[in-house]
Structure 1
Amino acid sequence: MSTEVRFPGPDRDLAGTLTVPDGPGPFPAALLIPGSGPVDRDSNHGKMGLGVTAQLADALTAAGYASLRYDKRGVAASRLLRDGSTEPADAWKRPGLHDNAEDAAAALAWLAGGPEVDRDAVFLIGHSEGAILAAEVAADPGPVDPAGVVLLSCPATPGDVTLRWQATMLPASIPAPVRILLRLLRVDLVKSVRKNHERIRRTTTDTARLGLTRVNARWVREFLDHDPATDLARLTVPTLAITGSKDLQTNPDDLGRIAALVAGPVETWLAPDLSHLLRAQPGPASLRAYRKEIRHPVDPGLLARVTEWLARHRPAPAR
């Protein structure tokens, strides 16, 4: 059964969906934290429906777990403020990375406090930025100590390093005529990315104009300087980290860093042929394949790996 809910966040009530299996509870549960950008509780945004958290919720329900997924601050129903007003559509550009972590911590506390949920068996599952946030929350959990953490496509290097790595991988996804033109014009993509980082670091406002585009400058500044390794090294709860072998947004080599950093029990899996969208990608890794990928579901093998790991690490119910 799924119920539309609102729960208190640091500066507003956030909107989400609580899904509970049939039968008597309390149930083990998971908080599902979506990725970067203006994504809603299902990991969808206007230009692309990823459905990652929605499909994770379905898999969890089938495995006997409750789940909470939510619209990020400034997105969809979480644009509604406590005074009844609604923020503009670009309001998602104002929060920083650590604001998003505070929202995730608030969601965890609310989920763990529900009568349907076994407070001692609440897990964090994050994808992309959501994995960074899951690590940050679990490293300093506050009133709720999660039973474990699942990190899907989680980087283990500072944001500026991750973005420069992405720039080195980008040419493989650019059409051949564009690659030829860039070579003729002697355009260095990595150098251009570094210059943009320097411009954004000089800003002080929540948003800023970069060329013709207004960007979420505060989030980018915090992301550039944030090193997930600091939080990963403080994780003492069981941790599962999964990255696809064809991920062009998170370096698959970071799985080795995660395995070395996490202080508690840790498992990693390099998922064969999966992209950052957690779908199988035939042929060479390419961002251009995303439009076709989203026509297919999240990889069933990945969902099975997550639910099987949860079953092995679920604390025994209190008697």
Structure 2
Amino acid sequence: MNPGTSTGTNDVRELRLTVPAADGLALAGTLTLPAGHGPHPAVLCLPGSGKVDRDSNAGRVRMDLGQPLATALARQGVASLRYDRRGVGATPGDWHTVGFLDNRADAAAALNALRGHPEIRPRAVGVLGHSEGAVHAMWLAAHAEAAAAVLLAGYARPGEQALRWQGGRIASTLPRPVRPLLPVLRRAATRQLTRLAATTTDTARIGGMRINARWWREQLAYDPRPDLARIAVPVLAVTGEKDTQVDPDDLDVIAHLVPGGAETHRIPGLTHILRRTDGPGSVLAYRRLLRDPVDGELLTTVAGWLATRLR
């Protein structure tokens, strides 16, 4: 892990640095440290899918998860590392050519680098992921000796099944005038998935758009359930009751598969983007919901849970 510049306040200190991936590419990231002398317990924070940076932002779609999460953790005495994906933000590369398994390999490299930082306790490093990041956190908890795992809106079924559930759930929240078109849209989506599965290149043009074909193939084929069954460390799994992208019932699967069980929370009103709503959790409401900050109670719960498990 290469050192960088330092900023911060009295209770939080941030270091801008780079993390070497397995192939030598420099992943640009932020290490947030609590007040006081280390070494500190720490957690690696992994974002959801898409062209997202260290704060879970993708262009004008700004989830703004990274900073408030890092601050909440630091105030509980837990350091955190987050980084820009390949081809995003300050990390070089072409995002369109990066596979699902590449993202996992980069997460494993970042976890090892975090353990090796002089201000971090190497045996007290956990993982936290949201959506796709939660699935990578499952693998790291099972195979890379993470000390604890937090799964925010993580699915517990094969990727293609998760995607089909998501498509059906989103369709059910569309305005009524659009619903007669749903059979046509489903057939079109099935054709697109078939075309994606038949690709052999990193990228492909489907529907006139340049698609990250390798990421899609690998994500659709991946089944996280065997990894869940191998996890031997504490697990906290949280999914919102109004999540339209991940089935909240997958919490029961996670609790059943993790040896010794997992602590699960199905939060009323919480959506996939970690904001609460009194209305439906439709993706059509995301733009409005993203004007609000990440749910504060969720951040407090996660930070407190990790502080207790990483002592």
Indicate whether the TM-score tops 0.5. Answer: yes
TM-score (norm 2): 0.92
Say whether the 8 Å CA contact 1:33–1:53 is kept in structure 2: no
Cα deviations across residues 219-259 of structure 1 (Å, max 9, x unaligned)? 00001110011211111111010000000111111000000
CA positional deviation for 1:101: 0.5
Say whether the 8 Å CA contact 2:15–2:31 is kept in structure 1: yes
Whichever residue aligns with residue 291 of structure 1, its letter is R
Distance 1:311 1:32 in 2: 15
Q: Does 1:106 align with 2:118?
A: no
- Aligned ranges 1:90-239 → 2 under 5 Å: 91-141=94-144, 145-180=145-180, 182=181, 186-187=183-184, 189-239=185-235
What secondary structure does 2:81 align onto?
strand
Q: Does 1:281 align with 2:277?
A: yes
Cα deviations across residues 192-245 of structure 1 (Å, max 9, x unaligned)? 322211110100000111111111100000011100112111111110100000
* Corresponding residue number in structure 2 for 1:28: 41
Q: Does 1:74 align with 2:90?
A: no
* Corresponding residue number in structure 2 for 1:47: 60
Whichever residue aligns with residue 77 of structure 1, its letter is A
Distance 1:158 1:47 in 2: 30
The 10-residue stretch of structure 1 (19-28 or 241-250) with the greater mean CA deviation from structure 2: 19-28
* Corresponding residue number in structure 2 for 1:37: 50
CA positional deviation for 1:173: 3.3
* Corresponding residue number in structure 1 for 2:3: none
- When the two structures are aligned, how many residues end up with a matched partner? 298
What secondary structure does 1:165 align onto?
helix
* Corresponding residue number in structure 2 for 1:246: 242
Whichever residue aligns with residue 194 of structure 1, its letter is T
* Corresponding residue number in structure 2 for 1:7: 19
Cα deviations across residues 275-319 of structure 1 (Å, max 9, x unaligned)? 00011022122111110111111111111111221133124xxxx
What secondary structure does 2:34 align onto?
coil
- Aligned ranges 1:265-276 → 2 under 5 Å: 265-276=261-272
Distance 2:77 2:173 in 1: 40
What secondary structure does 1:78 align onto?
coil
Consecutive unaligned residues of structure 2, counting only runs of 5 or more, are: 1-12
The 10-residue stretch of structure 1 (166-175 or 156-165) with the greater mean CA deviation from structure 2: 166-175
Q: Does 1:61 align with 2:64?
A: no
* Corresponding residue number in structure 1 for 2:252: 256
* Corresponding residue number in structure 1 for 2:300: 304
Say whether the 8 Å CA contact 2:273–2:286 is kept in structure 1: yes
What secondary structure does 1:32 align onto?
strand
Say whether the 8 Å CA contact 2:78–2:307 is kept in structure 1: no
Distance 1:285 1:129 in 2: 19
Cα deviations across residues 166-207 of structure 1 (Å, max 9, x unaligned)? 111122332333234x16xx52x3333222111101000001
Distance 1:249 1:226 in 2: 17
Say whether the 8 Å CA contact 1:237–1:264 is kept in structure 2: no
Say whether the 8 Å CA contact 2:141–2:147 is kept in structure 1: no
What secondary structure does 1:98 align onto?
helix
Distance 1:202 1:152 in 2: 31
Consecutive unaligned residues of structure 1, counting only runs of 5 or more, are: 80-86
* Corresponding residue number in structure 2 for 1:83: none
CA positional deviation for 1:7: 1.4
